[in-house]
Amino acid sequence: MNAVFYISAAVAVLATALTVTRANAVHALLYLIVALLAIAMIFFILGAPFVAALEVIIYAGAIMVLFLFVVMMLNAGPRALAQERDWLRPAGWIGPAGLALILFVELLAVLIRAGGVSAAAAPLAPREVSLALFGPYLLGVELASMLLLAGLVGVYHLGRHTEPDEGGKE
Amino acid sequence: MNPTLHQVLVVFGVLFGLFGVGALLTWAERRLLALWQDRYGPNRVGPFGLLQVVADMIKIFSKEDWIPPFADKPVFVLAPLVIMVATLLSFAVVPFAPNIEIANLNIGLLFFLAMSSLSVYGVALAGWASNSKYALLGSLRAVGQMLSYEVFMGLALMGVVAQAGSFGLRDIVLAQRGLWFGVPQFIGLGIFFIAGLAETRRIPFDLPEAESELVAGFHTEYSGMKFAMFFLGEYIAITLIAALTVTLFLGGWLGPWLPPLVWFLLKTFCLVGLFILIRATLPRLRYDQLLELGWKRMLPLALLNLIVTGAVILWRKGV
């Protein structure tokens, strides 16, 4: 199981690095999807199959498809590609990379201090997750659903079909 | 038998069985369509035209596998693979019979939903990588359609999950010993089947590949083996939806007299036949009709079904 964890973790890190450095937006998105799948795999190994499935369904399956949809609609040509390459010059990414390095060193320090964290937690079945969500965290779930409802109403309003002769009223 | 050996046999049996079923369905669909439309269909090669499958295979293997120079090559090659792999992986959680099953996951149903949402990428990327306007239009339609119908496909199944008390497909089959879920969950059954038609992009929901407007939609630029992968992927996806409908609503392998596997296959192929009958009879919807049907009819119906199911379960428990 440890080997599977390290392989998935390596895939996640590598895919994320490639996501940042690709000039072609669709290729970058594909690597991001791979990173999300690798993270789902890690959740699965850690004993959270429900979260792993939700990660794939919601992040990899729905949100990323919307990203892809937008990128496809924009249909960026070779000019956008050249522009993107231009933005990816060292001057642009040295700052963020340096800050990320500080975080990485911090993480290493914490891990070394803690003497290695065990990955073996008790497996969590969907039932326990649901009981927690609709028990102590019910308020959070309801608030999130209200937020989503607001988004839904907003989208419906924006996407409403208006008759040409009513154009002025809107 | 040695359990490891048994498992390996099941894995390869399911894999090759599916390829065989996919290939045979290319023939069966044309014969059945012909039957229902008063034509002959392919009946020349071999008995009942059965060797037509072999003839088609020779043709497809010997065709030039052309990648258009304007396409995005790596993504173009990846796209058909994504569809095939995602569809085949879904079969890993389907219990064919009490002892024939690849993986008994306690999140089996969610695994299927996850794989079906990943197969959207195959279609989307095929259209984008082809770099041609018909393919792009087709794949934009496909993404809109599959994303919308996935939403209430999942919701329609939650009634079954609530009744069985588990996401595991084996538990769901075993919970149907007294009564098939198709009876109390008839609304869920209908919605799931319609959503399944839309997910597999079959008539009346085949807008992504509407040949009268978009040539062949998202797979316009594909030829040879890559085209065959889309084609085979579609038939395997139909078998998947039929197999899942049987597992979730029609009692899976349960049935009297006959062995469990025979019951499962019998029910599954009846449903595949229904898929083909629908193709033989219904016209194609318009795109706005498709989305309206999804969001304004199916989604509220699925929610209502879920609420009523929940209420009845609580009432029966006497809460």
B204 vs B290: CA distance, rounded Å: 9
pLDDT given at position A143: 93
Three-state DSSP at A88 gives coil
Domain annotation covers residue A145: yes
Check whether residue A39 and residue A79 sit in a common domain.
yes
Q: How distant, in Å, are the alpha carbons of B95, B132, B239, B258 from that of B141? A: 33, 14, 23, 43
Burial class (CB in 10 A: 0-12, 13-18, 19+), A59: middle
Token couple for A161? 């079909």
Check whether residue A88 and residue A146 sit in a common domain.
no
pLDDT given at position B318: 77
Residues in chain B: 319
| Identity of the residue numbered B103 | A
pLDDT band at B292 (very low <50, low <70, confident <90, very high): confident
Q: Looking at the predicted structure, is the pLDDT value of residue A126 above 90?
A: no
Cα end-to-end distance, chain B, whole Å: 47
Token couple for B285? 């919807």
Check whether residue A18 and residue A76 sit in a common domain.
yes
A→B contacts (Cβ < 8 Å), by residue, are 24, 26-27, 30, 33, 49-50, 52-54, 56-57, 60-62, 65-66, 68-69, 72-73, 75, 125-126
Domain annotation covers residue A76: yes
The pTM for the full model equals: 0.82
Token couple for A144? 């999130």
| Identity of the residue numbered A149 | L
Domain annotation covers residue A108: yes
Report residue B97: phi and psi, to 5°. -155, 170
B18 vs B197: CA distance, rounded Å: 19
Check whether residue A68 and residue A107 sit in a common domain.
yes
Token couple for A79? 């000019």
Q: Looking at the predicted structure, is the pLDDT value of residue B194 above 80?
A: yes
Question: Please, are residues A33 and A78 in contact by the beta-carbon 8 Å criterion?
Answer: no
Q: Give per-residue pLDDT as tens, B209-228.
A: 777 777 777 777 787 788 88
Q: Looking at the predicted structure, is the pLDDT value of residue A68 above 60?
A: yes
Q: Looking at the predicted structure, is the pLDDT value of residue A75 above 70?
A: no
Q: Provide, as residue numbers in chain A, all residues whose Cβ is less than 8 Å from the Cβ of B113.
A: 53, 57, 61
Q: Give per-residue pLDDT as tens, B104-133.
A: 777 888 888 888 888 888 888 888 888 788
| Identity of the residue numbered A60 | A
Report residue B100: phi and psi, to 5°. -115, 100
Q: Looking at the predicted structure, is the pLDDT value of residue A117 above 70?
A: no
Q: Measuring CA to CA, which residue among B309, B311, B305, B312 is closest to residue B188?
A: B305
Domain annotation covers residue A78: yes
Peptide bond into B208 cis (omega under 30): no
pLDDT given at position A146: 93
Three-state DSSP at B100 gives strand
Check whether residue A59 and residue A132 sit in a common domain.
no
- DSSP for residue A166: G
Domain annotation covers residue A137: yes
Q: Can you list the positions of beta strands (E) in B115-218?
A: none
Q: Looking at the predicted structure, is the pLDDT value of residue A121 above 70?
A: no
Question: Please, are residues B82 and B122 in contact by the beta-carbon 8 Å criterion?
Answer: yes
Three-state DSSP at B191 gives helix
B90, B146, B149, B167: which to substitute to probe chain A, counting the most A Cβ within 10 Å? B167
How large is the ipTM? 0.77
Check whether residue A30 and residue A51 sit in a common domain.
yes
Token couple for A107? 């993480």
Give the chain A residue whose CA is nearest to the CA of B130. A72
pLDDT given at position A149: 92
Check whether residue A86 and residue A98 sit in a common domain.
yes
Question: Please, are residues B235 and B268 in contact by the beta-carbon 8 Å criterion?
Answer: no
Q: Measuring CA to CA, which residue among B115, B120, B112, B117 is closest to residue B93?
A: B112
Q: Give per-residue pLDDT as tens, A153-165.
A: 998 888 777 666 5
Domain annotation covers residue A111: yes
Give the chain B residue whose CA is nearest to the CA of A156. B295
Domain annotation covers residue A167: no
Q: Provide, as residue numbers in chain B, all residues whose Cβ is less than 8 Å from the Cβ of A126.
A: 106-107, 110, 167
pLDDT given at position A8: 83
| Identity of the residue numbered B26 | T
Beta carbons within 10 angstroms of residue B247's beta carbon:
28
B222 vs A11: CA distance, rounded Å: 30
Three-state DSSP at B313 gives helix
Token couple for B37? 């439309």
Check whether residue A66 and residue A134 sit in a common domain.
no
Domain annotation covers residue A168: no
Which range marks the domain in which residue A79 is found?
2-124
Token couple for A53? 């499935």
Q: Provide, as residue numbers in chain B, all residues whose Cβ is less than 8 Å from the Cβ of A72.
A: 124, 127-128, 136, 139-140
Token couple for A87? 């933005």
Check whether residue A96 and residue A141 sit in a common domain.
no
* Cβ–Cβ gap B136/A30 under 8 Å: no
Check whether residue A120 and residue A59 sit in a common domain.
yes
Check whether residue A69 and residue A138 sit in a common domain.
no
Query: How many CA atoms does the CB half-sphere of A15 hold within 13 Å?
Result: 18
Token couple for A60? 């990899």
pLDDT given at position A120: 54
Token couple for B290? 């498709």
pLDDT band at A122 (very low <50, low <70, confident <90, very high): low
Q: Give per-residue pLDDT as tens, B10-30.
A: 888 888 888 888 888 888 888
> How many Å lie between the alpha carbon of B83 and the closest alpha carbon of chain A?
13
Q: Residue A102 sits in a domain of what CATH number?
A: 1.20.120.1200
Q: Give per-residue pLDDT as tens, A45-65.
A: 887 788 888 888 888 878 888
pLDDT band at A150 (very low <50, low <70, confident <90, very high): very high
Q: Looking at the predicted structure, is the pLDDT value of residue A112 above 50?
A: yes
CB contact set of B113 (below 8 Å; sequence gap of 6+): A53, A57, A61, B150, B153, B154, B157
Beta carbons within 10 angstroms of residue A122's beta carbon:
7
* Cβ–Cβ gap A56/B118 under 8 Å: yes
Our count of domains for chain A comes to 2
A24, A30, A39: which to substitute to probe chain B, counting the most B Cβ within 10 Å? A30
pLDDT band at A109 (very low <50, low <70, confident <90, very high): confident
Mean pLDDT, all residues of chain B: 84
Q: Maximum Cα–Cα distance for chain B, whole Å?
A: 67
B135 vs B221: CA distance, rounded Å: 7
Check whether residue A64 and residue A145 sit in a common domain.
no
Mean pLDDT of all residues in A3-25: 83
| Identity of the residue numbered A146 | M
pLDDT band at A169 (very low <50, low <70, confident <90, very high): very low
Q: Looking at the predicted structure, is the pLDDT value of residue A70 above 50?
A: yes
Q: Measuring CA to CA, which residue among A118, A16, A33, A91 is closest to residue A67?
A: A33
Q: Looking at the predicted structure, is the pLDDT value of residue A34 above 80?
A: yes
| Identity of the residue numbered B230 | F
Q: Maximum Cα–Cα distance for chain A, whole Å?
A: 71
pLDDT given at position A164: 62
